[in-house]
Amino acid sequence: MSRNYRFRVVNVFAAAAATSASRLSGNPLAVIENAQGLSEMEMQQIALQFNLSETTFVLPSTDADARVRIFTTTFEMPFAGHPTLGTAHVLRALGRAGDALRLHLNAGVIPVVAQGDAWTLTANIPTHRAYEYSRGQLARALRLNEDDIAGAPLWMNAGVEQLIVPLASVDAVARAQPRLDAFAEYCSNAREAQAYVYALDDATRMVSRYFWGHASAIFEDPGTGSACANLGGYLLADGAAVPLAFDVHQGAATGRPCLLRLSVDEHKRIHVGGRVVELMHGELQLD
């Protein structure tokens, strides 16, 4: 008996303009519409087959609108922003949810709401810990000058732990170019080496980049919703006044520009949103 699984590919954090170019912007995501019957090993292999930064697998849930598992090409993620938003968009398109829903991820139940094709999640309350190396060592890892580091980096965790690094200028963000050996040594946690660098462009706009990898290769993500949520947590830890809101621009260096909306409300709840567009659909044939 053949096993066929329907999938959709969406772009998350796509540019706002309704053009063909904007539909091809954002961070791509594959969503397996109904993953019942797939083993964990098969989910991992399918994620590698799509070869996108993440692939999600939708399953039934008793405490949310859906159970969602998120896989990169090599491991399962407890939480990620663009997979959460993109999966919510697909569930609404399938008629399984409306403009407000709750997704059960490994990191817990995440609420998501929509206005048209703009989706927004509310992140978990973040925790943080101090960065364990010097500013000079971090600057070396990012191939920057020490005075490009604008404040104390922190390991933030609003579902997945990431190193948040404030930089002094948009130019410094553009110049960041991690060194393989130093990046693996000075920017690693238990999961992988990674760093999210950002700088203010004006009062309501930020520019960011997210690097991840290991001693043999470093990659750059076009649009990282989990890191944007951690940025909200960093701003709170740094004493920022609330409410606050920023447009966060990421992905230009990858050729896939992304626009993320970050806000922290008066109750210090962190919200990350962006536009989602469906690009293609099809069917996996496994047997």
Q: Angle at which helices 225-237 and 81-93 pack, to 10 degrees? A: 130
| Residue 19 pLDDT class (50, 70, 90 cuts) | low
Residues 255-272, mean pLDDT to the nearest whole number? 97
Exposure letters 60-74 (e unless 16+ CB within 10 A, then b): eeeebbbbbbbbbee
Q: What integer pLDDT is reported at residue 211 of this predicted model?
A: 98
For the chain, the average pLDDT equals: 96
Give the up-direction half-sphere exposure of residue 16: CA atoms within 13 A in the CB hemisphere: 6
For residue 191 the two structure tokens come to 């999961």
Residues 14-42, mean pLDDT to the nearest whole number? 89
Q: Of the listed 33, 54, 161, 220, which one is catalytic?
A: 54
Q: What integer pLDDT is reported at residue 6 of this predicted model?
A: 98
Asked if residue 23 has pLDDT above 90, the reply is no
The alpha-helical segments, DSSP class H, found in 36-150 are: 40-50, 81-93, 135-142
E runs forming strands in 85-172: 100-105, 108-115, 118-122, 127-130, 154-157, 161-166
Domains of the chain: 4-123+274-285 (3.10.310.10), 127-266 (3.10.310.10)
- For 46-83, write each residue's pLDDT tens digit: 999 999 999 999 999 999 999 999 999 999 999 999 99
Residues 6+ apart with CB under 8 A from 127: 156, 157
- For 209-261, write each residue's pLDDT tens digit: 999 987 689 999 999 999 999 999 999 999 999 999 999 999 999 999 999 99
What does the alpha-carbon distance between residue 274 and residue 260 come to, in Å, rounded to a whole number?
Answer: 5
Query: Is 76 one of the annotated active-site residues of the chain?
Result: no
Q: What integer pLDDT is reported at residue 190 of this predicted model?
A: 83
For residue 257 the two structure tokens come to 């520009």
